[in-house]
Amino acid sequence: MTKQTANDYLLLFRGGANPEDMSPEQMKATMNNWMSWMKGLKKNKQLTLGHPLQDGGKVLSGPKGKNVAPFSDTPDSIGGYLLIKAKSLAEATKIAKGCPIFNNGGTVELRAVEQMPNM
């Protein structure tokens, strides 16, 4: 029997809770939900890494990134990410469905990470 290896999947988080619209109690509950979910992923050896993203930044475009503009946060902006391990897209989808972002109207984009040879 061949052992199935886990693949990397990227979860990109958009929208969800706006800290400016939340009471301290709501913010604490939201953060506790996130931490509990991620601790479970870590315990199951599914969480590789992840971080929220800071506001601001730059957008580069054009040849050699010549055009530089300020980043503008919108409801569709990516607010954070996780890199997880799963045996299949179906398993990664099941993991993503447990994300607390859905409690606040956010979305998760789930993408398989393409493995590069010799990296």
* pLDDT for 109 beyond 90: yes
Q: Residue 73's pLDDT is what?
A: 81
Q: Provide the whole-model pTM.
A: 0.86
- Would you list the domain boundaries of the chain? 7-112
The stretch 83-105 carries a mean pLDDT of 96
Asked if 74 and 34 touch (Cβ cutoff 8 Å), the reply is no
- What does pLDDT average to over the chain? 91
Asked if 8 and 101 touch (Cβ cutoff 8 Å), the reply is no
pLDDT one-digit tens code per residue, 36-88: 999 999 999 999 999 999 988 999 999 999 999 988 888 788 999 999 999 99
Topology (CATH level 3) of domain 7-112:
Alpha-Beta Plaits (3.30.70)
The Cα–Cα gap between 82 and 9 comes to 8
Q: Residue 4's pLDDT is what?
A: 58
